[in-house]
Amino acid sequence: MAPLLHTHQIHPRTTLNRLHFLLYSLSLLLLLHHHTTTPSFLLLLADVFLAFLWLLSQGFRWRPVRRWEFPELLSKVTASKDFPALDVFICTTDPYKEPPVGVASTALSALAFDYPSDRLSVYVSDDGGSDLTLFAFFEAAKFARCWLPFCRENGVMERSPEAYFQSSGCDVEAEKMKVMFESLKERVDCAMEKGYVDLNLVNSLEEKEIFKTWKNFTRKDHPSVIQVLLESKKDKDITGHPLPNLIYISREKRPASLHNFKAGALNTLLRVSETMTNAPLILTLDCDMCSNDPYAPKRALCYFLDKDFSPNLSFVQFPQRFTGLNKNDIYNGEFRRVFTLGEQGLDGLQSANYLGTGCFFSRGSLYSSPPMAMPSFDEFKLHSCLLSSELILLKAHEVASSEYEHGRKEWGSQIGFRYGSLVEDYYTCYRLHCQGWRSVFCNPDRPAFLGEAPKSLVDAISQSKRWFVGLYQLKIFSMVTGLRSMAFCSFYVTHMILGKDEVLMME
Ligand SMILES: O=c1ccn([C@@H]2O[C@H](COP(=O)(O)OP(=O)(O)O[C@H]3O[C@H](CO)[C@@H](O)[C@H](O)[C@H]3O)[C@@H](O)[C@H]2O)c(=O)[nH]1
Ligand SMILES: [Mn+2]
């Protein structure tokens, strides 16, 4: 018999939630009945509306579940050399708002996952088309050769160098790593101050050639740039161990073409990675969300490798957790209700939301519906040629071009991450759930990923505004697409009202 890789339990608070539901419903009925005996019709209407919203929010409380995974038993199911390959997608947009050293640290934390290195690839999408970000990644690729063995040999858990050096005291070996990382930071900061990559900062001739071509690139107008920075088949760390793949991509941008924000960037990553490594599992990460637990991919595998559980499993979502919250979290930056409590409730109904980051997808689910048998992980073949070979790079540039989706309307509507809302995560998971895919919320005690919450009031309000505009876009969309979507629409109205509370709290 196959060992138990995961288990779950209905949350103990469920009984209390249901009792509360009964009592509250009774009081509501009494209140509404009372309104019918008073002359104020408007008051009745207002309370019916609020009662309706309350009713919709009860879905989150009806059957919350808690889950546990047993990654230590994975070896009884599959040898680690046969694990499905994993492609990690990291998105960044602006080197001044999202400092390249931070983005590179996030990538290093993913490169250092406890996962077979020939099955792990990290792709970075730079929507800023910035030479500063690429420069930081050239430096990070060199640093990875020492950093990865250091983490492995010392059992480091925080594998983002930025986070590690901020929180840990250093012994002699760690001190050496710190000096190397400081020198990396200095070189990148020097380029940041100048605003461009001075060729004196670059040592290798090949790198110099690349930065020479970076003329007149603007964020909205530049050709595609694809750079293989580390390649598992030929690059080794200082102990002779193969390194994972690391690839930098800046998709082509032209003022006349629609780029569909982050969803567009993710779809380019989907296509480029398909031409290169085509891993059956994908992890999406925001550039400010680094790994805090190198074993997180193995936790996700506990679900994907469970044959009885996986046929219609689209994604495994980890919560967004944060560092750097200000004292008492006065801007409610943690969003616990949305990112943890709500997710446990939705998981109980088999439909945890996709939160945009910290989410492991099965690639197959982004291309098809569950009744079509999902290809087994073994059917995703790895290329035998080098990723940096001319043939592969040619194909990769073709699928990263701004014209590629013209005439291929299925992108963003039937396949890939869905277009049409600023909250592409909510919209994409809604469409996947409509197709019959299910999802899981995985919330281990040690946060798997840690990000930065907005620190100032202005940032907090601007983030909320973006989310609510995105949710309103969904509402309008759902109104024109029929009844099934209406359920979704009302569901998200609840979210919006909850959200408004949070904005009010901030003021
Ligand atoms: O055109 C764009 C816009 C954004 N991004 C990246 O998308 C991520 C999220 O954008 P951010 O501005 O940080 O949005 P937040 O509101 O902080 O993000 C939350 O909300 C978004 C919309 O729902 C989700 O995509 C995110 O994963 C989720 O963390 C960042 O890594 C950006 O670099 C792009 O790659 N291209
Ligand atoms: Mn963010």
What single letter denotes the amino acid at residue 239?
T
The answer as to whether 59 is a domain residue is yes
According to the annotation, is 293 in a ligand binding site? no
Domain assignment of residue 469, yes or no: no
Tens digits of residue pLDDT in 175-217? 999 999 999 999 999 999 999 999 999 988 989 999 988 888 8
Domain end (from 422, 437, 453):
453
Which tokens go with 482? 């029929």
Pocket lined around ligand 1, Cβ cut-off 6 Å:
91-93, 98, 125, 127, 261-262, 265, 286-287, 356-357, 423-425, 463, 466, 470
Q: Lowest-pLDDT range, 236-250, 320-334, 391-405?
A: 320-334
What's the rounded mean pLDDT across residues 318-324? 90
The pLDDT mean for the chain works out to 88
Say if 240 falls within a structural domain.
Answer: yes
Q: Give the end of a domain, one of 426, 453, 480.
A: 453
DSSP-assigned letters across all residues of 270-324: HHHHHHHT--SEEEEEETTEEES-TTHHHHHHHHHT-TTT-TTEEEEEPPPEEE-
Instruction: Point out the ligand nearest to the CA of residue 286.
Output: 1
Q: Reply yes or no on whether the pLDDT at 440 is more than 90.
A: yes
Regarding predicted confidence, which is higher, 168 or 350?
Answer: 350
* Residue 423, Ramachandran bin (φ over 0: left; ψ between -120 and 50: alpha; else beta): beta
The reply to whether 421 and 369 lie within a common domain is: yes
The span from the CA of 164 to the CA of 291, in Å, is 11
Residue 154 and residue 58 share a domain: no
Q: Domain for residue 311, yes or no?
A: yes
* 37 and 108 within one domain: no
Residues 24 and 87 in one domain: no
Is 84 found in the same domain as 183? yes
> What integer pLDDT is reported at residue 481 of this predicted model?
54
**Residue 483 pLDDT more than 60?**
no
Instruction: Provide the angle, in degrees to the nearest 10, between the axes of the packed helices 41-57 and 14-37.
Output: 170
78: domain CATH number?
3.90.550.10
In a domain, 266, yes or no: yes
In this structure, the answer to whether residues 165 and 227 fall within a common structural domain is: yes
Write the pLDDT tens digit of every residue in 253-312: 999 999 999 999 999 999 999 999 999 999 999 999 999 999 999 999 999 999 888 789
Q: Is residue 251 part of a domain?
A: yes
- The answer to whether 97 is annotated as binding is yes
Show which of 20, 35, 63 is a domain's final residue: 63
Domain count, the chain: 2
Give me the interface pTM, i.e. the ipTM. 0.96
Whether residue 432 sits in one domain with residue 293: yes
**Same domain flag for 104 and 11:** no
Is the pLDDT reported for residue 376 higher than 70?
no
Q: 205: domain range? A: 69-453
- Residue 47 annotated in active site: no
**Segment of 103-107, 172-176, 367-371 carrying the highest mean pLDDT:** 103-107
| Same domain as 100, residue 45 | no
Do both 59 and 76 map to the same domain? no
- CB under 8 Å to 208, separation ≥6 — which residues? 199, 202
- Are residues 31 and 80 both part of a single domain? no
| Nearest-10 crossing angle of helices 424-435, 483-506 | 150
Looking at the structure, do residues 354 and 424 belong to the same domain, yes or no?
yes
